[in-house]
Structure 1
Amino acid sequence: MAAHHHHHHQKQIAIIGAGISGLLACKYALSKGFNPTVFESQNGVGGLWANTLPTTKLQTPKSLYQFSDFPWPESVATHFPTHDQVLDYLQSYADHFELTQHIKFNTKVIGIEYRGVAEEEVEAWALCGGNGDVFGSRGGKWEVEVRRSDGSEETEMYEADFVILCVGKYSGVPNIPDFPPGKGPEAFKGKVIHSTLYSGLEAGESEKLVKGKRVAVVGFRKHAMDIAMECSGINGKGNPCRVLYRTERWSFPDWFPPFPCLYLSRFSELLIHKPGEGLLLSLLATILSPIRWGISKFVEREIKRKHPLEKHGLVPKQSFLQDEGIEFEGGDKDENHHQQQQPPPLEADLVILATGFKGEKKLQDIFGSKRFREIIVGPPNATVPLYRQCIPPRIPQLAVLGHSESIANLYTSEMRSRWLAELLDGKFRLPAIEKMEADAANWDVFFKEYAGESYHRSSIATVHVWYNDQLCKDMGWNPRRKNGLWAELFEPYGPTDYVSP
């Protein structure tokens, strides 16, 4: 055993990005005795949190948004820490586990290239690495090309036996809507910027930009709302900020106390069909579906009670159950596909596009190989289904973290990083590539089913206990983490349930 260990700890692991997933991947790789290198293009940790609005707060209570073995400091008294507090928390996590010395800051990865094995050979493999070895037994290695962000043209090369992409999908390549020729920002007298540019401004600068202007924010997600709130705060009633959106979305009141019990318990997951469930669970989900409908209606009623949605025509058409994803289509059309009468143009001096990012594009751009680029982004706009949400079955020696969504995203990311560390440590093996693809496709069907028409990006918000169960079984942990049947069924699951194996 010792010989095997000694051998694999010389393996080079490259982690791209020092956001939450990157820090977790680094911490758990270290815990197994590896010596990972993290490449981060910014000058500090925190990824998305390092570049967001000063007024942004955590929208999940901190008890759900914490590392299993590193609680929030007592000095943070609020349930919803501010952006600075979150950043401090992430920084102290990195300090506490001595991750910073493994991070190369201001170092942007401009491309990765798989060398040593012909692509045709990789294509013919039935098992990962050709023989089920996650590090590849055929001598394949990744070449990671990086550039320092001090503006120098010179690039450096690093070699890695395994690459973990933690590039997140909420930053990077802005999603700018397509405009018809002559009808885009160039035809507009005012200024059009993407929300990233706005978030990157210092507090004083953003105020100067917005002050006294008629601002329109495009988008209806949390980020759009944060920007709109900030602009209204700066301009007051004199210059109201307009929010333009295509699809109404259910947006939670500040915090909805029954939420964890309704959505984060095993019982709540019995109400829905799950990927890979057996006959009994499937039958149960069908029988219990009226309860799920009842919960959904209860949540909708609560939200309507707190917010005057009807008065403003903001009640979403889709039920709360189906509210995921975002889509853009050209102007409004009626049933017969005739262009409807357009409302008079809205006058504005500044348009902020909070229209999200092209996470897939950012992932794609990293690969030198055209074939891997095509694999990672399958059919138009659909990222390839990943096995256990992190392994692209047909790309060797690679994992993608931080690219699927979930409500309590931090501890699900943590479980995924632990699972990956155990895999790299040889604790278990990946199944045949075909099996992995079938399993990932199952999950994909599940996401599409529950997100209905508006499916775009997957969200494991509704079944992360089920998901964590699978990771636990792979790692040889007991998936049942609570004391007694009642607790197991009805108590919400959270980060502290997964402290130790």
Structure 2
Amino acid sequence: MEYLEAYAHRFDIIRHVRFGEKVVGLEYVGPDQEEMEAWDLWGGTGDGFAGAGRGVWHVTVEKEDGAKEEHVMDFVVLCLGRFSGLPKIPSFSENKGPEAFNGKVIHSMDLAKMGSSVAAEYVKGKHIIVIGFLKSALDVAAECADINGAELPCTMIVRTKRWNLPDFSAWGISFGYYYFNRFSELLFHKPGEGIMLSLLATLLSPLRWVISKFVESYIKKITPIKKYGMVPDHSFFQAMSSSLFALLPENFYDRVKNESIILKNSKSFEFCKDGIILEGESVPIKADLVIFATGFKGDEKLRTIFKSPSLQKIVTGSLENTVPLYRECINPRIPQMAIIGYSESLSNLYTSEIRAMWLTHLLDGGFQLPSIKLMEEDVKKWDKYMKEYSHEYYRRSSIGIIHIWYNDQLCKDMGYNPKRKKGFLSELFMPYGPNDYIGLGSKKE
């Protein structure tokens, strides 16, 4: 928090922020839908601000006292994120959901809002069930276990087993050498690749399996997932390609060993008066409190901020495809608007910063977007890539395992050298990370 405050003061951001106001509606006022559909270029001109008199955004905000105001803006950047706001709760048949339970049911989001001391008091002395097995679920369960111990163990219901890690290394080698360098990206087919890269990806594809099995063997050795029946059904490679894994809290499996955390694997379950009944069992797991750490409705959150039904439909696209964003930033059919931070990488902070740089260059006239047709063709290529490697999780739009390839495209658009290392071997085999992009756009560039 101190760092964020220092950053905001250093760059004079505070005076531009309106605190205590929530955006509750966006409406584009300008050309009608028929005219917009006929455009060849984004916004009709290909320019970020779409030229004089093209259109404006009406932004409705609600203040803490309930009063509403409307602001007129030339451009809107949505930085809503996908992991907050609208919790995703599994659906249940009638009288089998939370309404059948005598205890309390909350989402991990609700617990986080309480603050550490209030949350600790809230969970103290309770039989707790946590639903989920990714970062929020792991952290919540670990904290509950530390507060209540083995006398009141925290039960985790794991619907999907995950390749959760103690750290970002395997057999003493950093993941950067497995997945975050240019050579590792040669093992995958990439959107817009040429014939030679496509051939290389096909020839080298067996290495993907070798690396995945190598990492899996390490996780099985260093964590007792086999002992507790928590070995995932999918490969570690698929977990990486869809950004579906997490770092374990320190000493997590020690808590499992001393039974302050109890792991239960079950695809489905239902509520009863005293707690939760797992599929195939008749005796309930007793609980006073059930905490859903089951994610958020990112698509719905993005969609419902628009007042227009047509824009609601356009912004998230069909559920059969990924969210249609060119460079993961621009919807080709919605003018004067960008979305930053929606698709995932394995280091969202610096990926979002590079996207923000790309957007400022666009708005400053540093480059022009291709035609709407070409942008939509590019979106389809990324959609194909995400479906091939992320499978049913393609809607997460993860660029994790080809983030260098993605950053290269942004750098080229801005006119910067995408190769950030010195020497051929370093460029090919050394890991890429945030430090490699320090000074991007400086005079030296």
Matched, 1:140 2:55: yes
Matched, 1:165 2:78: yes
Partner of 2:195: 279
Take 1:343 and 1:250, find their aligned partners in 2: how far apart are those partners? 30
Partner of 1:497: 436
Residue 69 of structure 2 aligns to a residue in which SS? strand
Task: Kindly report which structure 2 residues correspond to 1:117-156, keeping only aligned pairs within 5 A, or say none.
Answer: 117-137=31-51, 138-149=53-64, 152-156=65-69
Task: Kindly report which structure 2 residues correspond to 1:85-100, keeping only aligned pairs within 5 A, or say none.
Answer: 87-100=1-14
Partner of 1:202: 115
Contact 1:322 1:454 survives alignment (8 Å):
no
Matched, 1:243 2:156: yes
Residues 1:423 and 1:381: Cα distance change in structure 2 (over 3 Å): same
Q: What's the offset of the Cα at 1:189? A: 1.1
Contact 1:321 1:451 survives alignment (8 Å):
no
Name the aligned partner's letter for residue 186 of structure 1. Answer: E
Q: What's the offset of the Cα at 1:282? A: 0.7
Take 2:393 and 2:416, find their aligned partners in 1: how far apart are those partners? 36
Structure 1 residue aligned with 2:366, among 411, 415, 427? Answer: 427
Q: What's the offset of the Cα at 1:325? A: 7.1
Task: Kindly report which structure 2 residues correspond to 1:361-380, keeping only aligned pairs within 5 A, or say none.
Answer: 361-380=300-319
Residues 1:364 and 1:371: Cα distance change in structure 2 (over 3 Å): same
Q: What's the offset of the Cα at 1:456? A: 3.9
Partner of 1:386: 325
Take 1:308 and 1:127, find their aligned partners in 2: how far apart are those partners? 55
Q: What's the offset of the Cα at 1:496? A: 2.1
Take 1:382 and 1:438, find their aligned partners in 2: how far apart are those partners? 13
Per-residue CA distance 1:252-308 (angstroms, 9 max, x = gap): 223325111211111111111111101100111111112221111111111111110
Deviates more, 1:350-359 or 1:370-379: 370-379
Residue 425 of structure 2 aligns to a residue in which SS? helix
Partner of 1:47: none
Per-residue CA distance 1:199-231 (angstroms, 9 max, x = gap): 111323212221121111001111110000000
Residues 1:194 and 1:207: Cα distance change in structure 2 (over 3 Å): same
Unaligned runs of 5+ in 2: 245-265, 270-277
Residue 193 of structure 1 aligns to a residue in which SS? strand
Name the aligned partner's letter for residue 245 of structure 1. Answer: V
Take 1:271 and 1:291, find their aligned partners in 2: how far apart are those partners? 7
Residues 1:115 and 1:454: Cα distance change in structure 2 (over 3 Å): closer
Contact 1:322 1:450 survives alignment (8 Å):
yes
Q: What's the offset of the Cα at 1:330? A: 7.6
Take 2:212 and 2:319, find their aligned partners in 1: how far apart are those partners? 31
Take 2:243 and 2:282, find their aligned partners in 1: how far apart are those partners? 26
Residue 328 of structure 2 aligns to a residue in which SS? coil
Structure 1 residue aligned with 2:214, among 293, 298, 321? Answer: 298
Per-residue CA distance 1:130-163 (angstroms, 9 max, x = gap): 12222112420001111112xx232111111110
Deviates more, 1:251-260 or 1:377-386: 377-386
Residue 200 of structure 1 aligns to a residue in which SS? helix
Partner of 2:258: none
Unaligned runs of 5+ in 1: 1-86, 333-338
Take 2:387 and 2:122, find their aligned partners in 1: how far apart are those partners? 40
Take 2:197 and 2:243, find their aligned partners in 1: how far apart are those partners? 27
Task: Kindly report which structure 2 residues correspond to 1:60-139, keeping only aligned pairs within 5 A, or say none.
Answer: 87-137=1-51, 138-139=53-54
Contact 1:126 1:433 survives alignment (8 Å):
yes
Take 1:497 and 1:170, find their aligned partners in 2: how far apart are those partners? 27
Structure 2 residue aligned with 1:400, among 333, 339, 346? Answer: 339
Residues 1:438 and 1:344: Cα distance change in structure 2 (over 3 Å): farther
Q: How many residues align?
A: 405
Take 1:330 and 1:121, find their aligned partners in 2: how far apart are those partners? 48
Name the aligned partner's letter for residue 161 of structure 2. Answer: E
Partner of 2:259: none
Take 2:4 and 2:35, find their aligned partners in 1: how far apart are those partners? 41
Residue 217 of structure 1 aligns to a residue in which SS? strand
Structure 2 residue aligned with 1:216, among 117, 129, 135? Answer: 129
Take 1:100 and 1:204, find their aligned partners in 2: how far apart are those partners? 28
Residue 285 of structure 2 aligns to a residue in which SS? coil
Residue 62 of structure 2 aligns to a residue in which SS? strand
Residue 459 of structure 1 aligns to a residue in which SS? coil
Partner of 2:224: 308
Q: What's the offset of the Cα at 1:99? A: 1.2
Matched, 1:268 2:207: no
Structure 1 residue aligned with 2:380, among 441, 450, 455? Answer: 441
Residue 355 of structure 1 aligns to a residue in which SS? coil
Contact 1:198 1:206 survives alignment (8 Å):
yes
The TM-score with structure 1 as length reference comes to 0.78
Contact 2:160 2:267 survives alignment (8 Å):
no
Contact 1:375 1:384 survives alignment (8 Å):
no
Name the aligned partner's letter for residue 128 of structure 1. Answer: W
Residue 28 of structure 2 aligns to a residue in which SS? strand
Take 1:197 and 1:453, find their aligned partners in 2: how far apart are those partners? 28
Structure 2 residue aligned with 1:347, among 286, 289, 299? Answer: 286
Partner of 1:64: none
Q: What's the offset of the Cα at 1:394? A: 0.6
Contact 2:243 2:345 survives alignment (8 Å):
no
Take 2:267 and 2:233, find their aligned partners in 1: how far apart are those partners? 19
Deviates more, 1:377-386 or 1:113-122: 377-386
Q: What's the offset of the Cα at 1:361? A: 0.8
Partner of 1:185: 98
Residues 1:394 and 1:407: Cα distance change in structure 2 (over 3 Å): same
Q: What's the offset of the Cα at 1:381? A: 8.0
Q: CA RMSD in A?
A: 1.8
Contact 2:82 2:297 survives alignment (8 Å):
yes
Take 1:351 and 1:309, find their aligned partners in 2: how far apart are those partners? 24
Residue 413 of structure 2 aligns to a residue in which SS? helix
Residues 1:319 and 1:111: Cα distance change in structure 2 (over 3 Å): same
Q: What's the offset of the Cα at 1:358? A: 0.4
The TM-score with structure 2 as length reference comes to 0.87
